[in-house]
Every structure is written in C-alpha cells, then in structure tokens.
Chain A
Amino acid sequence: MNTRIISLVYLLPSLTPALYLLRKYLIDSDLNRLHLSGVIIRFNTLVPLITVSGALLTIYLISKNRLKSYHPSWIININLITFFFYFAIFTLNITKYPNYSYTFTGVPYEHALLHLFANSILLFTLFTQAKFIEFTQNFTDTIFKRNLVKELKKDILRYSRIIFLALILFQIIELYAKIPFFMRLKLDEGSIFGSKYEVVEEIKKLPNDSVIVHPPQSSDWPALSNQVILRYYTIPRLLVSGEISKLSYEDENLSEFYLIRTTNQSNNKTWPHSVEDWILDQLDTDPEAFEQTTIWETEYDQIIQIKKI
C-alpha cells in the first residue's frame, strides 16, 4: 500500500481557511444558500479530528510495516502554511479582543484554537516521523512482551528532553494567551462594575438613608441586579431586590424612594416595563400617593426619584 493515498488526508487542513473565507464572503451574502454555510462549519470542525486520527493511523501502519515509505515533504510545507494562518488569527485575537478575526475572516476564535492544536500535532508527527515510529514500535512491543516498566523507562529516557520542553513551552504559550486579556481587564476596564455604569455614579449622589430598588437578578443586568456587587459602590444605602413584592414601605416610614430603570439598548430590555404598573402590581399601594419628582437621564440608565406624599 502506498503512503501517498493516505497522505491526501493531510491536505484537508489546507482547505479549511479557503472554506471559511468562501462562507464569509460568498455564501452568507446570499440568504438562499444558508444551509451550505452550516455544512461548511460542520465540515471544518470535523477536519482536525479526521486529520489527527489519520496521522496517528499512518504512523501505526508504518510501524507495523504495512506501509512502505514516510510522508512526502511537500505535505509539511502545506501544513506549515495553514499553521501560520491560524497562528496569525490566534495572535490577532489575543492582541485585540476575542473573536476579533471573525469580522473579516469568518473564523471563530474557538475554531482557530482547535485547528491550531490539531495542526501542531500534525507538524510534530511529520517532523519527528522516524523517532515517533520507533517509539510506537517499542510501545506496542512492550505491551506484548509484558516488560512494561523496564521498556517504558527506556522510551521515556530517550524522549525525556522533548517531553519536558513541551511541558514548559505549553505553559509559556498559555501564559502568552492569557496575560494580554488579563492586563486589559485590570488596567483599562478596571472599574467595569463601578464608574462605567453611570447609574452607580448617580446613586452615589443620593442621601445615605435612601432605599434603592434594583432590577431582579438575571443575566440581563449581571452587575446591577447583583446586590453584593452593587453594594460595594453604594454602601450605606439600603438595597431592595425588585423581585420582593411583599415589602411594605408603610412600615419603614420613608418619605422617598428611588427606582433604577435600566435600558439595555442592544436587546431593548427595560426594567420595570412601566413605572405606574410596577408600583401598582408589586407594591400594592395607591398610585396617587406617589409623586414623580425628578428623572435623571444618562446615556444608558435612568433613575427615577418618587416622593411619597
């Protein structure tokens, strides 16, 4: 059996970038061909699995003397090109923001990681074909010889430097991938829960003994609806979850209270949907007893101060 037939499997990864671009610029623009887009995505995510298993299979077959020759060298070149393509996307995503490359290449960040991982395995097996085949031969032999520990020791000795280097390099790559995101989170968006929300800045202007009713806890307002987060910035003021309807303001002897109304512009979600309805339903009090005095309007949020007569 000739190696070149199985080597064709190695061509698949080089197809994937072209398919991503095709999907991005030709197919997605035409709504009638949307089903093709899904097929391409599925095919592209399957490619890493197919190629890695193909590579391991060929090596196993060569080590069993079923195949005659090693992989030809032009396959290495093709795989190197695709490797650098995905590595470029990976670095772009790290230095800019996650999924940055999706806007112009159509490759999701997670897919790029998957391809990068598979391609690095392919390249490793291609570069160290002879040694790798030797290793698998030894490994399969040892299992049948039942001298596992002794033979494994020999194999580990032979490849120890590569294994340890790989361990350390893996850590360095992980560090390289994580630190830029982390730095940006710490330095640029350090006040993500605080001053970026203008509503928090507005709450800070309110008197210390005020009661603040905040949106119900949900993923729509991850920071604003979470009491433990909101309290950090608004501390002496009493926070009340919008879900608690049985709260009676009569007992508290309060003259005024404040509603936070947030507007999530992208999804057009508002809380509460209507101020009058909310007061009627949730608090079960007379709407005429309240007088709306001021509304602060900021870019994203509104605070409504309601005075009780």
Chain B
Amino acid sequence: MKIIAILLYFSALYTKYMFSSIEDYYPPSFWISAIIHASILIYSAINLLKEKLQNKPATGSDNRSLFTLFKSQPKSIKIIATLIVAIAATVFYLQFYIAYNRQTSDWDSVALYDARARYIELGYKFSDFPKFSEYDITGNDRYYLLHPPHTSLLHSVIYKSNISDIFPTGMIYVVHMLALAISLYIFSKEVYNNKFYAFITACLLYISPDFALMGMTDYTNLPYSTFILIGVFLLLKYMSGREKTTSLVLGIALISQSLWIRAIEPVWFPIFIMFPIAYAIFNKEMPRVWMRAFSVITLGLALTAIDQNSWNTFVTTNTTHAVSLFSISTPETLGNMLIGMFTGTYLYVTTYFILSLKSRLVWYVILPLLTISMIASKFPKKTNSTLRSVSIIIFSLVLYYYSGAYYTIASTTWWASVKDSLARSSIYIYPLSLILLPGLMISLNDENKKKKQ
C-alpha cells in the first residue's frame, strides 16, 4: 500500500513540477509546499526501502490461500461470492475496453479537464485562460481555474509523449481505480486477517454503480477519492499504533495533495480534526493516543493550509474573483440559516439529502450504526477500534455533507441543481463503509453459531 501511495504522490509532485515549468508566476507558498512535499517523498521512500531490506516476517498472519478459504465457507456465501467476483470481473474488463475505444465525451471533461490539456498542448498557459471569457455573456473568468490542474496535466503528459495509442487518457482512471481496490484489499486483509473477506470487499468496490461508472469517466472524483482514502488508511494504521512516522507523514501528505486535484470541498476538515479527537476519546486506554491525535491535527492543518493557500493565491492574482476558505460572510445567509432552524427547514433539507443520495444513504448511515451497536469485543482490540473509528469518520463526513446541503439551501437559489454533484462528490464514503461489511457478517455468524449451540 505504501508503494502505491508513493507512486501516486510522485505523480502529483511531477505535475506540480510541470506546472512550475509552464507558468511564469507562482505564489511563494507554492515553492514552500513543493520543497516540503519533495522532502517527505524522499524521506518516506528511504524508510520504505529500509523496511523492505529488513524484510520482517508478519507475525500471526493467516497464510492459507484464497481458494482454501473459499472452500471452507458455507454454501450460501459461496454462491454470493462467485456472483460478486464474476460481476466485478466483467466491470473490470468493461473499464479496460471502454478506455481503449472511446473519445472524451463527458460534459465537464470536454469543457474543462481534457480541454485544458489540449490548450496547454497548443502553447497556452493557465494564466491565459481567464481571458477566454472576455466575449462570453456569463463573464465567468474563474471557470478554467475552478479546479486545480492535476488531471489536466496528466492528460497533457500523455498527449506530449505521443503514447495515447498504448496508454489512452481513459487508462489514468482505470489505474486509479485499480490502485484503490488493491489498497482496500491490503487494508481489510490487515484488519480482519482473512484474505477471502478482503478480496470480496475489493470486488464490491467494482460492483458499486458510482465507482464502476467513474472508472470510465474523465472526472476528477475518482483520483480525488483514491488520494483521500489511501491517506485515511495510512492514518488509521498510524493511530492504531501499528505503523510509525512514515505512514503518518505519507498519509497527511496524500490528503493535502488531494487539494491539487479538487480544492473546493474542505473534506480534510472532518478527517484532520473530528476523526483523531474521536479516536482518542474512544480509545483512552491506548498508550500515547493523545500525542498521536495532536500530531495528526497540527501537521495536517499546517500542510493543507499551505497547499490551499498556494492555489488560492494563484487564482486570485489571475482572475477578478477573490477566493477565500470560508465564504459564509453575508448577514443575509446567516439570518436565513438561523430562521430556518426554528421554522422546520430541517425536514426539507433531510428529504433533499435523502433524495440526492438515495440508496447510498443505507450504506452511509445504517452500516456504521449497526457496527457501533453490534461489534462489542467480538474481535481483537485493534480491529474493534479501527472499525469503530471508520464508522466515526463516515458519520462525520455525512454530517459535513448534511450541513453543506443546509448551507446551500439557505444561501443560494440554484440549490436544486446540486443533487448530482453532491452524490458524485461524496462517493469516497462508500469504500470506507465497505470495510465495515465483512466485520458485521463475521460477528453475526458467530452469534448465530452461539445461539444454535
């Protein structure tokens, strides 16, 4: 998982280097973050090499192969598992097939992500883009700089090196999806010490309609969620005390680098603040938990502040729009929100929220609720605490999105059109909830067995 993390991290740093070679002006915080990130990359790569050279054998791990584990399952689970694996395999094949046989056709990609790559190829700079909207009735000169340039620069790397026949731009998303599935497999294998359940969770990722379709689309949501999720896995490992500073530094760096892909949603806020505090409160008896939580909060906030600042200053110097972190400023919206609290707007927002997330809400709300109620010391301590903290992260993210929906309804008139993007931007919660599913199944099976006896 760390190797995947380092590779992804390297790709982000490479596009930063490309950006600096294209542009004439970049804010000083861009350089600071680049230096910090480069040193983190070197540090973690060296540490990883050391670990690989020492080659510690993992203690107490289950060495049985996937097939023998599959044989030992009851008949009903065998049937379900084969169904899941077969569908996941077809989706995987379809993603490859479509990546090699399509043109860029998605609206946002044609308008923004792939378009920027094409324009850079023609010799334009990022600072030239605001001029395009001079004769547009909308006059929105921030349009091309709304999202940071990571995926566009990856596209332009492919166009420049003329390898689009061997490695088309659609493959970027297939590879990100594969990286996410592999790291999900590795993480859940470490949590449950069972290869079979880990493999099923990785396959369930491909069965989800959102992720299956995102692997075929040139949108930023999939790379963004890979960065964030792998970062969260590494941080979870660090908090549970299994891993040392390498995973802390790499995890924080990956999450802050996700701001190089999408910068408008402050997802790092619930991850860096609510999660470590909640984890420390729930696991008071663990040694040095508060130290770890404190280091995650301070380091994470410092790095993200630098990264967010570098892109925001670049946008504000080149466009007429001023970008700030929190734009809740007008007294009118604050008043709307306050009045809404006493006039039952909650009901309205809740129905809107349920309608926009639909079936996903079952995964996001019911699964963590069940895990918190059901899993009471069914597993070893570390597994229990990771499962509980995963459900805490999910809860805090759902809360964050709920309050976001509340804010948009109170402050804007176009809130009804955000439904799809709300569902799309929250897709990374699904893999997190997948980790809970096998844990629930195992504990339920155990209780069933106990009852029969």
Contacts and interface: CB of A to CB of B under 8 A. Distances in A.
A49 interface: no
Interface stretch (A58-66, A138-146, A156-164, A264-272): A156-164
A240 B98 contact: no
B212 A179 contact: yes
Interface in B370-387: 370, 373-374
Contact of B137 (A167, A190, A217, A235): A217
Given A175-B91, A187-B101, A228-B112, A168 B216 contact: no
Interface string A219-237: 0000000111101100110
Nearest to A152: B373
A185 B143 contact: no
Residue picked from B80, B107, B209, most chain A C-beta under 10 Å: B209
Contacts of B448: 157
Contact of A241 (B76, B91, B118, B137): B137
A309 B441 CA distance: 80
A185 B440 CA distance: 38
Interface in A111-133: none
A285 interface: no
A170 B209 CA distance: 10
A244 to B, nearest CB: 6
Contacts of B118: 232, 235
Contacts of B83: 172
A21 B415 CA distance: 39
Chain B contact surface mostly = helix
A161 B77 CA distance: 10
Interface in B93-112: 94, 98, 101-103, 105, 107, 110-112
Interface residues of B, number: 48
B138 interface: yes
Contacts of A247: 135
B167 interface: no
B444 interface: yes
A14 to B, nearest CB: 28
A170 B105 contact: no
B138 A232 contact: no
A133 B95 CA distance: 44
B76 A232 contact: no
Given A186-B105, A193-B105, A244 B137 contact: yes
Contacts of B98: 183, 186-187
A149 B101 CA distance: 53
Contact of A170 (B94, B119, B136, B359): B359
Interface in A142-199: 149, 152-153, 156-157, 160-161, 164-165, 167-168, 170-172, 174-175, 178-179, 182-183, 185-187, 189-194
Interface of A: 149, 152-153, 156-157, 160-161, 164-165, 167-168, 170-172, 174-175, 178-179, 182-183, 185-187, 189-194, 216-217, 226-229, 231-232, 235-236, 238-241, 243-244, 247
Interface of B: 76, 80, 83-84, 87, 91, 94, 98, 101-103, 105, 107, 110-112, 114-115, 118-119, 122, 132-133, 135-138, 143, 204, 207-209, 212-213, 216, 359, 362-363, 370, 373-374, 437, 440-441, 444, 447-448, 451
